[in-house]
Amino acid sequence: MDQVINTTARREEILKVRGMTKTFGPVVALNNVDLTLRKGDVLGLIGENGSGKSTITSIVAGMQKATKCDGMYYKGEEWKPSSMLDALDCCGKGRGGIGMVVQESGTIPGITVAENIFLGELGQFRLFQMKNGKSFGPVRRKKLFAAADEALKKAGIEHIPAKAPMAALDFQSRKLVEIAKVILKDPDVLIIDETSTALAQDGREILYKIINSFRGTDKAVIFISHDLDEIMDVCDTLTVLRDGNIIRTFERAEYDPDEIRKAMIGREMHGDYYRSDFEPACGEEVALKAEDVCLGESLKHVSLELHRGEILGIGGLAQCGMHELGKVLFGSLAPKSGRVTAGEDREVRSEAVAIKYGMGYVSKDRDVESLNLSASIKDNIAIAGMDKYAVKNFLILDSREKKYVDRQIDELSIKCSGRDQLVQQLSGGNKQKVVFGKWIGCGSEILILDCPTRGVDIGVKQAMYRLMTKLKGEGKAILLISEELPELMGMSDRILIMKDGEVKKQFMRSRELTDADVIGYMI
């Protein structure tokens, strides 16, 4: 069971985990797992959603405790961090600990970037510093901002001002701030949990630069990603987890995508990953229309038409305005000028109106905007579809509701202990399936999908692509916003590339279309 990285066997161990088990209520997330990480390694962890990748790393990083563990050792000493801060602080030693960038947002929106970076450590910036190390008085904000700017620079992030309020940043920038916050502490082990999917290419480059600075040194990186190409490219070794067990570790020389996939899902993958046809096809009827939409610097005179039976891809870098466009189309953001209409000239002014006109929206920020984490699968799926099963459009009967929810659970193969399981206990892919179930169940005719496969493993990704193809076949209109070019090219009938809030270029679906054709219009 112990997965030692053979090629680096000469190097000293930095982290060793023995017999780790973790259960979440009914779910066995980790089953007696052993793992060894050596200095200089960039170790990739890969596996389907719910395989235990985030669980093992979050325990190592002090976020939670193992249910049972025979031993956890860091630099040869017993490792028992009481919190993430404690782990980052190397259990009181100050520096050289274990830092983790988490999968979902780990920043606080109501304060500035600088305050987020120095959260819990603002004392060092207070006006009065005592000899005993204590401090009081107001925070010297100039000094704080300068230090935060320095921390961002150290991480290679220079476009985010330390003074900026966190809430004003997009998802990518918030993730980059988290990275800077961890790097500031000079961790000797850096854990990056499914972070790159929140980043566009420019953000990923920053991340890769940081990872490379750890490679071959006395430090090490654990990198978690669902992007097989990326993880094979970035990591020296790959450890595959499935259902809480370590299945196999691949050396770089052994990398074979099919073998890795097989190890991940326990079977061969059959059929096409993306759409197999290369002919753009859609209905005549316009389902959704944006006319000359403007929204500050985010959107400048954007017009588009989405037809029934069409998958319209929107691509670009993270700050190109595509995420804002999705929200404007769904009525969540009011445009400064221009209008959005659904069907026969019915103006979309709010989310409630959009839903009334048969629209559904899958947000990139899934845990905040698409799911109620403290509620059950049943509550989350049922909430948008009550018109479908309520008696007289008013009365909710348990039997009808259960039938409605169970149908979505079955059709989308949501892995859960039952409809009453809390959504927060599900893995990323299954959470996303719940979001799909919420909008498909209520019969949405127009779906706006903003990075729908973010943080989703390849098995679920394939299932989602098939579902999108099926929905297209049923005449549904799909707007696919994505930062992944292969996904856009693999699934869209048309692709609109955005840059600086404007639509720069339109590409039609074609077998000949390549990344190189598209990238030039994004950058």
Partner 1 sequence: MEEVLKSRSGDAVKKQKVKNIIIMLLPIAALVVLFAVYVAIILANDYNLAINLETIVNQAIVLVLVATGAIFIFTLGSFDISLGASTLFSATVGILVFNATGSLLLLFLTCIAVAVACSLLNSVLSSVFHLPMFVMTVAMLSVLTSIAGTIITTNSTSAGANPAISVSDSVLRDILGSVDTVWFKVLILALFAVVCIFVFNFTKVGRRQKFLGGNPVCAKMTGIPLSVYGIIAFVMAGIGVGLGAAVNVTYTMSVSTGTASDIGMSVFIAIVFGGMPISGGARSRIYAAIVGGFSYIILNNILNLLLSSVDGRYGYVQIISAVLFLAIVYVASINYRVKHLPR
Enumerate binding residues for partner 1 (CB under 8 A).
23-29, 31, 50, 54-55, 58, 63-64, 102-104, 243-245, 330, 332, 350-352, 354-356, 361, 363, 368-376, 379, 382-384, 386, 390, 393-397, 417-418, 422, 424-427, 438
At its nearest, how many Å lie between partner 1 and the CB of residue 167?
12
Q: How many C-beta atoms lie closer than 10 Å to residue 258's C-beta?
A: 9
At its nearest, how many Å lie between partner 1 and the CB of residue 102?
7
Q: What are phi and psi of 5, to 5 degrees?
A: -85, 105
* Ordered strands of the 346-347 beta sheet: 299-307, 286-295, 337-342, 346-347
At its nearest, how many Å lie between partner 1 and the CB of residue 263?
15
Task: Using DSSP, state whether 120 is helix, strand or coil.
Answer: coil
At its nearest, how many Å lie between partner 1 and the CB of residue 43?
20
Closest to 312 in 3D by CA, of 304, 302, 300, 323: 304
> Chain centroid to CA 209: how far?
20
Q: How far apart are CA 431 and CA 428, in angstroms?
A: 5
Query: 54 or 298: whose CB is closer to partner 1?
Result: 54
Q: How many C-beta atoms lie closer than 10 Å to residue 387's C-beta?
A: 11
Residue 283 near residue 309 (C-beta atoms within 8 A): yes
Q: How far apart are CA 317 and CA 315, in angstroms?
A: 7
Query: 351 or 500: whose CB is closer to partner 1?
Result: 351
At its nearest, how many Å lie between partner 1 and the CB of residue 122?
24
At its nearest, how many Å lie between partner 1 and the CB of residue 318?
20
Q: How far apart are CA 192 and CA 162, in angstroms?
A: 22
Q: How far apart are CA 387 and CA 444, in angstroms?
A: 12
At its nearest, how many Å lie between partner 1 and the CB of residue 326?
11
Query: 40 or 50: whose CB is closer to partner 1?
Result: 50
Given the structure tokens 């190189």, which residue do they identify? Answer: 516
Q: Which amino acid is at 171?
A: F
Task: Using DSSP, state whether 425 is helix, strand or coil.
Answer: helix
At its nearest, how many Å lie between partner 1 and the CB of residue 58?
7
Query: 225 or 492: whose CB is closer to partner 1?
Result: 225
At its nearest, how many Å lie between partner 1 and the CB of residue 353?
8
DSSP per-residue codes, 28-85: EEEEEEEEEEETT-EEEEEESTTSSHHHHHHHHTTSS--SB-SEEEETTEE---SSHH
Structure tokens at 380: 């989350």
Query: 237 or 427: whose CB is closer to partner 1?
Result: 427
Neighbouring-strand partners of residue 112? 165
